[in-house]
Amino acid sequence: MKIKGMILSTCICVFLSTTNAQERTLAQENPIGSHLQLRESSKVSFVGSFAGKARCDASGDLYIRVMPSGDIDPSRAPIKEISADGHLKKTFSLPEDKKQVSAMDFFVSHDGNVYEQEYTRNGTVDVAEFSNDGLFRSSIQLDAEPFIPYQIVVFQTGDLLLSGTLANPGGHLHTPFTALFDSSGKLLKKIYEPEDDNYRQKAEAKDPDFTTDAGSSNAAVYEGDATIGSDGNAYLLRSTPSAALVYVISPKGEVVRKLRVDPPEPGLTGQDLRSTTNNLAISFLQKHSTIGISRVVDLKGNLIADYRATDEKVFPGLPGCYVSSGFVFLGHDAEHNVYVRKAEVQ
């Protein structure tokens, strides 16, 4: 299985208020624009290339799948934890008897436990659990029809929310699939919204805005993202050109709110979501690019600012975190040396 292209992650994001189940669209007001300025760069003690998106824990450490030089299969690459000052702290790697699976997205809890979703050769989906010391704990097989997982979050209850597309006969991956499972993998609830059915129809009709380059998958799901807010709800992003749609899902699997966040500029699509206290930020990117704008809103959905970068080392589409002191990004040079770069709002 293909993992989303190299260096596709972004810098910031958080959560929304969930006081009711109303859908809200952000007003088309121009927020105060801010630029990100590179302040510090630290070289990390290994080389490699990134695959997929970065995740962060409560302390600001970054977690990223890194491929050794010369490796061509990102689904086999281990997850590495990197401190904000550039030190490699831990490596999360599957046992030898588990390394034939296709590792997909992963989730990091606030205390640093890692949950990695995997698509197996026999068509099942497993979730590998690692403790925060890097040790493999267990593998949970999910009780579900065959599907390709793209996003995962874990509630404080231990229940798992996964989203992807059904593995339909013929290889077409157009139908969104989202479900809540308990910590043993038992299916608790499926979640399928009217928008999901609309995106399915558009993908089946080969609408270029709703299909991946290969034409086999649903881009609204494939290019989306998910996170847990500090209110305990899950935030699931559907990526569409007209607006970023965020489902706010409770630990019981209820869609308690929907938010549509318009792109800051035409031609940008919301692709990445990160959580921090009291805010939500979505990175709107150019197609197949790390260039774009991060749009930040407060808990009530009011625009705070659009964050831009003129320095390619801190483009919003690079892997990174939004922390209290500013922004932390990962990048590498032509020799695949990895760097942690800190940026501040100018």
Query: What is the percent of the chain with per-residue pLDDT over 90, rounded to a whole number?
Result: 49
Predicted confidence at residue 271, as pLDDT, reads: 93
Q: Are 110 and 67 in contact (CB under 8 A)?
A: no
Q: Residue 239: is its pLDDT beyond 80?
A: yes
CATH topology (fold) of 23-345: Neuraminidase (2.120.10)
Query: DSSP 3-state assignment of 196?
Result: helix
Phi, psi for 181 (deg, rounded to 5):
-125, 150
Tell me how far CA of residue 96 lies from CA of 77, 81, 107, 254, 301, in angstroms: 13, 20, 21, 38, 46
pLDDT digits (tens, 9 = 90+) for 40-90: 899 998 887 788 889 988 888 999 988 766 655 777 788 999 998 889 999
- CA–CA gap between residue 4 and residue 279 (Å, rounded): 26
pTM of the model: 0.88
Q: What is 229-249 written as a DSSP string?
A: -TTS-EEEEE--SS-EEEEEE
Query: DSSP 3-state assignment of 76?
Result: helix
- CA–CA gap between residue 247 and residue 340 (Å, rounded): 31
Predicted confidence at residue 283, as pLDDT, reads: 92
pLDDT digits (tens, 9 = 90+) for 136-157: 999 999 999 999 999 999 999 9
pLDDT digits (tens, 9 = 90+) for 169-201: 777 899 999 999 999 999 999 999 999 999 999
- CA–CA gap between residue 161 and residue 176 (Å, rounded): 13
pLDDT digits (tens, 9 = 90+) for 17-47: 333 333 443 333 444 668 888 988 999 988 8
